[in-house]
Structure 1
């Protein structure tokens, strides 16, 4: 217990609440936060395990909203490409992946904030492309929720349908990449001590996020979430550049 970082656990709870409210999933917050406490490879492994419980909680709480058509159109290519991205992650330096992650978060957050009325045609082709990109990003960088969020947003889904379908797809992605990360050696014994706490946090954070969604306008929280994603992305870039500078 004395080796646990309680700040990390508190920030993980915040990531889960915001991930539920924003509809992006907690990994878009959890990955850059955890990156300040662990190596990037360990973060990938820990995220996959943590996300399994997080998405099971969302499935249990929002299960009535599942859209089976989007589950197939976005979920199947996501699973295929998360395996490819996860395998490729073993061939890149962690500092390079952190840099890509930081740029990825900053660019996407700015795009969503500036183009809040961004419209993409809601068709099968775009669903397949979005699923492939989100899966590949999840495997390589640990997070693909923002891309999946953009893809699903074009179908103008009611928020409970959005979260339930996204959670089912995320669960499929996490289940697949857990095996890939284990094969890569990204799941470390030293970080497994956090898993029981993260399992509990996944449920509590999802429940709290759902309660907030019932009372607070979704659009306002989405902008707050995007602002936080932007700040986390910038903080990740600062960390990369400051740690790469010789002292």
Structure 2
């Protein structure tokens, strides 16, 4: 098995953009990884990659941690990522990829067009956001966009947003790594990329933090949503192209 250095470069870009956007790298890493590996391998790699990525974010942004949100969003996220992870084994990866692409496009368009939509900053919404983000992370490989939306309601400063999101994400990834391993998603191929992804997680977070310093708060969310939209469109186009090719042949 050969290492794909183009994939590793894209993983670095995903980590940088994920740090800047505050939604985490998986929202970019998962659909990009699907161009190189099957959906289940990408799920396994994402869990491994995120452990390093989120430890780096916790280290670089640790002063901003919000302990209440860590409890209200983090606890239900950990529980439901396990549920989503086990269910992922029961659904064909092709359909999960379709759902992922549609989810990214709908989510980003909704909040780009209806930017006045807000989630009320209360305990109930924090718990519901944690449940949905955890379940999505386990089933589709990414739940950071939902968690980001929920946390945005609490109007956290950029460092607090990233630190709290990263800590919750770390708990999610730690839990789903065991589930994915049990499902057979983490094997020799995925472990071969482990040392590269560990380094990329650290370097990408550092570079993202440096770039983030120059981005105004009001641009913060919009940049992320535009990038999520583009990734979603590319994911859907790739699925359609592959389907058309299989039908033609």
Tell me the TM-score range normalised by the shorter chain.
Answer: over 0.9
Measure, in 2, the Cα distance between the counterparts of 1:193 and 1:137.
26
Q: CA RMSD in A?
A: 1.1
Contact 1:21 1:218 in 2 (8 A): no
What is residue 23 of structure 2 aligned with on the other side? Answer: 24
Aligned to 2:122: 123
5+ long unaligned stretches in structure 2: none
Deviation at 1:217, TM superposition (A): 1.4
Given the two structures, how large is their TM-score scaled by the length of structure 1?
0.97
Segments of 4+ moved more than 6 angstroms:
none
The superposition leaves residues 175-206 of structure 1 with CA deviations (integer Å, 9 ceiling, x where unpaired) of 00000000000112112211111110101110
Aligned 8 A contact 2:73 2:126 in 1: yes
Matched residue, 1:170 = 169
Whole-Å separation in 2 of the counterparts to 1:124 and 1:225: 25
Q: Which residue of 2 aligns with 1:158?
A: 157
| 1:223 aligned onto 2:203 | no
CA distance in 1, matches of 2:25, 2:156: 19
**CA 1:166/1:184 → structure 2, altered by over 3 Å: closer, same or farther?**
same
Counterpart in 2 of 1:7? 6
Secondary structure at the residue paired with 1:116? coil
Indicate the SS of the match to 1:237.
helix
**1: distance between equivalents of 2:48 and 2:197?**
9
Q: Residue by residue, what CA displacement relative to the aligned partner does 1:8-50 show, whole Å, maximum 9, x if unpaired?
A: 1111111001101110000000000001000000000000000
Partner residue, 1:214: 213
Distance in 2, Cα, partners of 1:239 & 1:110 = 19
> What secondary structure, in the 3-state scheme, does the structure 2 residue paired with 1:143 have?
coil
Are 1:64 and 2:63 matched, yes or no? yes
Structure 2 SS opposite 1:190: helix
Aligned to 2:238: 239
1:127-164 CA-partner distances (Å, limit 9, x unpaired) = 00000000000000000000000000000111111100
Q: Secondary structure at the match of 2:193?
A: helix
Q: How many equivalent residue pairs?
A: 246
Q: CA deviation at 1:53?
A: 0.2
CA distance in 1, matches of 2:117, 2:212: 23
Query: Post-superposition shift, 1:221?
Result: 4.4
CA contact (8 A) 2:44 2:190 kept: no
Q: Give the whole-Å Cα distance in 1 for the aligned partners of 2:155 and 2:58.
A: 20
Give the superposition deviation at 1:223. Answer: 2.1
